[in-house]
Structure 1
């Protein structure tokens, strides 16, 4: 049986504009949407949605140019004497603010999305070191982003590093369980964990995890395909 690749975070981001992704996450309530306009770069959201639309249309050369342009626009407003962080929900923002060791600039979530699109494009070109470098930057700027951790897990699986991939996916699962805004990545994180467990020959654990993912997304073809693959592996023993 031919296995399906476990594309996770960036594929989700690539098919949902920023505003729509927030709606799916059922986290960013109207009061926060108004509050979030205080974040630096919020005026660029329409351009971020245009970038995501280019990725959806697979116009990746145009998307890459747009992402570079947008990143420069966001960063032109940064106060270089301060750290910058990006959050998708008020919950994330307030929790981080309470424990932050120093004052920081709140950057609109669109900045994170812009960098995520750059990582997607690099991964699509199989420029995995570049993609991993961008994802590492995102994880520092958007510490609550489950999608970023999940995408790092996907790339590590592609590089034949299932143990490292497993750790990344477990982080994605933890974040997607902790924050409602990150909940759309929960099933994808579970599938990534299952994929890595198969690579580590832990079939019973992998089967349980894929079944857990189907409780969230019952008809997911990747999970169903992987469960069939597990059955084939057992039949050949």
Structure 2
């Protein structure tokens, strides 16, 4: 049985989310503040985390950031704000998707199912090469570890998936919309700006000079290309 952690300080919302997820066959725990949520998340027993942005003691962005330093499981952020900056910050820190309050419980369950299925396909896929070596870059797909010039870098789930997609299709140009649909899926909320944020994060982690990328090239007016 899949285990889900809900980090939400509004009790009625947390209990509603829990009830719908339990009816759908998931085991659910609830944390009412950011510090408790982080403590539970770091135990490593959960398959997905449903994380509110506005939390007491420790906000959702900081919780997401710290979880990503240890675990790559899907994180679905919940926000009452519709401003793009909140969404971009959340996705840039490693969140896989977001949902805006108020939402339909059925939509929430569908999102959870989709991200769990996507994550299982990602970690269980046999279609990709076990190892990729390109210009000082080494990707161990089996262990999900990435090294640049023998130095390991820590990537989020979506950063790793994005890197794998580009690196296994070298010298091909993909539009932002194509990348978004391929990595996040048609049902995910967000837009091409999400791709821009993740490309920037990848460059910051992989490149000596992110403004002069050795690996991921911007093709102006067209999209991105993994250069070999």
- Establish whether TM, by shorter chain, passes 0.5: no
Q: Which has the higher contact order (CA 8 A, sep 6+)?
A: 1
Give the TM-score, by structure 1 length: 0.30
- Between Structure 1 and Structure 2, the one with more helix by share is 1
- Between Structure 1 and Structure 2, the one with more strand by share is 2
Give the TM-score, by structure 2 length: 0.31
